[in-house]
A = this chain, B = another copy of it.
C-alpha cells in the first residue's frame, strides 16, 4: 500500500489526471455557484451568470465542463449520489420508521437542489444510481408495511409520485417555505397509513414510471 503522502492516485478511480489545486477549487465553486444560480433563476440562467457567481470567467467554466448540459449533469449526478446515501442511511432507522425518515430527508435534498430537479428523472447518465435507489425504497416500503406503518395496498410507484409531487411544491414555493413540502409530506404519509377505506384510484404501473424517465422533462426559472 502506498504511503498517504504519495497519493497521486487519490482513490480507486482517479477520474483523469489530478487537477491543479486552484483549478480543483474553482471546479467546486462553479458547482456551488451553479446550484445557487439555477435555484434562483432556473436552468435557463446563463452560463455567464454562473461563471461570474463563481468568480471566474466563462472560459474557466468551459475548460472544466464541455457544455452547459455537462455542468447540469454533474449537479444531477451529485444529487443522485446524495440520495443513494440518504436512502442507505434511512435503512438504519428504527424498525418501521425508515421510510418516513427518508421521505423527509429526500425533501431536504430536493429543496437544496431545486434548480436541477427538472433533469433528475430523465438524465440518462445516472440510471444506475436510480435503480439502486429504487431497490432501496422498495425495501423501506416493505419494512414499513411489515410494521404496520403503511397500508398494504401502497406500492413503490406511490412513492415515486409522492416525490414528484414534493418536487412540484418545492419548485413553486422556491426558498419561501420549508414548511410547504413538509406539510404535504405529512398529509401524504397520513394517507398512506393503514386504513379500512380503500383508495379511490389504483396505483400507477411500473412501466409508466420507467417510460416517464425517458420522455418528460421540466425546466425551472425564477422571476425577480
Contacts and interface: CB of A to CB of B under 8 A. Distances in A.
Contact of A165 (B121, B165, B197): B165
A85 interface: no
A173 B197 CA distance: 27
A121 to B, nearest CB: 6
A40 B156 CA distance: 27
Contacts of A118: 221
B164 A173 contact: yes
Interface string A129-171: 0000000000000000000000000000110011011111101
B162 A167 contact: no
Interface size class of A (residues with CB under 8 A): 35 or more
Interface in A160-189: 161-162, 164-169, 171-174, 176-177, 179-189
B191 A204 contact: no
Contacts of A158: 183-184, 187
Interface of A: 42, 44, 118, 121-122, 157-158, 161-162, 164-169, 171-174, 176-177, 179-193, 195, 197, 199-205, 208, 211-212, 214-224
Given A168-B168, A176-B208, A218-B218, 10 more contacts: A161-B181, A161-B183, A161-B184, A173-B212, A177-B208, A179-B208, A182-B201, A190-B191, A215-B223, A216-B222
